[in-house]
Structure 1
Amino acid sequence: MRFKLIIASVKPHITDPVVDAAKAAGATGATIITGRGTGIREAHTFFGLTLEDQTDLIYFLLEEHLVAPVLEAVRTAGKFDQPGTGIAYVLPVENAVGLESQIEHFKEGIRDL
């Protein structure tokens, strides 16, 4: 099986809708990491202190055939067509371990079709 990794960077208030949409499109789970980010828009300052926007990085490890529908679900739920809402990108995965239970789940789904 071939796997790919979708990484989505979103504002915390839309993390749950993005994860829910991805699961509805076929993702079996996600890893969420909290961070800070900067982009074209400069961080706000308040009394000389810089306030950086918090961001969540959402990782989806997927079988290759699920990438397109999950990425589209992430784009739609994250409202990525609007400026400053987030980004998502796909990386190839060379090797992965610890996915045996997921692979069995996928095989059972194929048998049920």
Structure 2
Amino acid sequence: MKFKIVMAMVRPNITEKVVDAARKEGATGDVIISARGSGSKESKSFFGLTLQDQTEILMFLVEEHAVDAILDAIRISGELHEPGQGIAFVLNVEKVAGLESQMEKFKEQAKSKYL
């Protein structure tokens, strides 16, 4: 099996909505990391302190057949077409360890997709 990481950087107020949408499309688990960052706009300042927007980094390790559906679900649920809502992208994975408990679910998903 081949795996990919689907990553999304979204505002904390929509994290749950995005994770739920990804799970409905086959994501079996997630990692959520709280972060700060700025997009293409200049950061705001207050009394000389730079203010950065809160963001959450969502990571889903998924079997490659599920990537398109999960990425579309993230894009739609997170309204990523709107400026400042976030971004999502996919990374290749060379090797994986520790997924034995999820392999049956991945096999079932692959069967339903291709057979």
Which TM-score bucket, shorter chain as reference?
over 0.9
The Cα offsets for residues 32-71 of structure 1, whole Å up to 9 and x where unpaired, read as 0111112211221111111100110000100000000000
Map of 2:6 onto structure 1: 6
Equivalent position amino acid for 1:14 in 2: I
Q: 1:30 maps to which residue? A: 30
Q: CA deviation at 1:106?
A: 2.8
The SS at the match of 1:6 is strand
CA contact (8 A) 2:63 2:106 kept: no
State the percentage of identical aligned residues: 54
Deviations 1:9-45 (Å, cap 9, x if unpaired)? Answer: 0011111000000001111111001111122112211
Distance 1:85 1:2, change over 3 A: same
Whether 2:96 is the aligned partner of 1:96: answer: yes
**Corresponding residue for 2:61?**
61
Q: Secondary structure at the match of 1:42?
A: coil
Deviating beyond 3 angstroms after TM superposition, the runs of 4 or more aligned structure 1 residues are 107-111
Counterpart code for 1:33: I
Between the two proteins, the alignment pairs up a number of residues equal to 112
Question: In structure 1, how many angstroms separate the alpha carbons of the residues matched to 2:60 and 2:50?
Answer: 31
Where does residue 20 of structure 1 map in the other structure?
20
Please state whether the residue corresponding to 1:19 is helix, strand or coil.
helix
Q: TM-score, normalised by structure 2?
A: 0.91
Q: CA deviation at 1:108?
A: 5.0
Please give the root-mean-square deviation of Cα atoms over the aligned residues, in Å: 1.5
Structure 2: which 5+ runs fail to align? none
What secondary structure, in the 3-state scheme, does the structure 1 residue paired with 2:29 have?
coil
Q: How does 1:72-111 map to 2 (within 5 A)?
A: 72-107=72-107, 110=111
Letter in structure 1 aligned against 2:104: E
